[in-house]
């Protein structure tokens, strides 16, 4: 079931990004992604109360069945919007067979600097969005944080996302994606540095506020950059390649878990900082004018 969910989500994301590239004007994309992130964060915040209500009212398996039913209904309602979109006709760019596909992938990665730098970028800075679960684990082990504390951490993360998305929306015509990516990497590095230098529990919850900032800026900028470095003819292909090429964010949690188990959190934080540092080079090399 998880495999089917992931597979369908991957296919849906390719079409979703392609439709966004065709439907949202270039000068409006930054504002669109930022307000989209704000709305998503607010909805997630409100959904938490709905989930809490369902879990408190029903036991297993009725509680999960109810939530999945609500999710299915809401997804069905959300799909109505796509029926109203007047999509630009697809190009005649075709790929016949697996051999040709592999050949095109190798050729694109070897000759297209934009795609290559983008793939390196999502494999370095991309690990910034997988840090939060490790910080929750850190709080549990070091501070013996309970469910109430973790709930507050996540609320702070959502608040950080809402505030950041609102600010980016307001300054969407002035700030560039490259600057946003630099800010993301700097804050992502400061989070573990702060923990290493001040390993106390008093200010620790506010790290999740910074985590919400990192997640929001990264989500907005990485989506916007993908649209900027692609065209209608190759966007679907590049979106698929970016999804398949994001290897490090997938395996990093496994590596991080092993390092924490064997050597502790300090080495994990140092490795995280080192990988994020590499992203500065690829941010500099990315060819994005907006």
CA angle at 130 for the pair 126 and 131, rounded to the nearest 5°? 110
Is the pLDDT at 261 greater than 60? The verdict is: yes
What integer is the mean pLDDT of 33-54?
82
245-254 confidence digits (pLDDT tens)? 678 888 888 8
Q: Report the Cα 274 to chain-centroid distance in Å.
A: 20
Q: Catalogue the E-assigned strands of the chain.
A: none
Q: Which of 89-103, 114-128, 247-261 has the lowest mean pLDDT?
A: 89-103
Domains and CATH numbers, the chain: 2-285 (1.20.1250.20)
pLDDT at 1 exceeding the cut of 80: no
pLDDT for 280 equals 92
pLDDT at residue 288 greater than cutoff 70: no
pLDDT mean across residues, the chain? 82
Location of structure tokens 């307000």:
35
* Rg (alpha carbons) of the chain, rounded to whole number: 20
191, 134 Cβ separation under 8 angstroms: no
From the number of C-beta atoms within 10 Å of its C-beta (0-12, 13-18, 19+), residue 96 rates as exposed
The answer to pTM > 0.85 is no
Q: Identify the pLDDT of residue 97.
A: 67
pLDDT in tens, 54-86: 877 888 888 889 988 998 998 888 888 878 777
């Amino acid at each position: 079931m998880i495999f089917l969910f992931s597979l369908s989500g991957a296919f849906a994301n390719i079409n979703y990004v392609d439709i966004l590239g065709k439907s949202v004007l270039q000068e409006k994309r930054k504002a669109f992604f930022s307000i989209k992130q704000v709305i998503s964060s607010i909805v997630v915040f409100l959904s938490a109360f709905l989930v809490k209500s369902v879990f408190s009212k029903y036991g297993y398996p009725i509680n999960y069945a109810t939530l999945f039913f609500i999710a299915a209904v809401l997804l069905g309602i959300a799909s109505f919007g796509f029926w109203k979109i007047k999509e630009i006709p697809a190009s005649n760019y075709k790929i016949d067979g697996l051999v040709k596909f592999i050949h095109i992938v190798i050729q694109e990665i070897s000759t297209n600097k934009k795609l290559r730098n983008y793939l390196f970028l999502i494999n370095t800075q991309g690990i910034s969005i997988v840090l939060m679960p490790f910080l929750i684990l850190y709080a549990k082990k070091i501070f013996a944080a309970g469910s109430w504390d973790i709930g507050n951490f996540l609320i702070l993360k959502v608040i950080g996302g809402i505030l950041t998305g609102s600010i980016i929306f307001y300054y969407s015509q002035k700030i560039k994606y490259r600057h946003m990516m630099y800010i993301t990497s700097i804050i992502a590095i400061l989070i573990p540095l702060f923990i290493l230098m001040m390993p106390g529990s008093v200010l620790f919850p506010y790290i999740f506020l910074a985590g919400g900032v990192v997640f929001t800026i990264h989500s907005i900028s990485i989506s916007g950059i993908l649209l900027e470095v692609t065209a209608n003819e190759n966007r679907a292909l590049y979106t698929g390649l970016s999804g398949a090429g994001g290897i490090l964010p997938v395996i990093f949690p496994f590596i991080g878990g092993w390092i924490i188990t064997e050597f502790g959190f300090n080495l994990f934080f140092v490795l995280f900082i080192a990988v994020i540092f590499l992203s500065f080079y690829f941010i500099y090399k990315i060819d994005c004018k907006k």
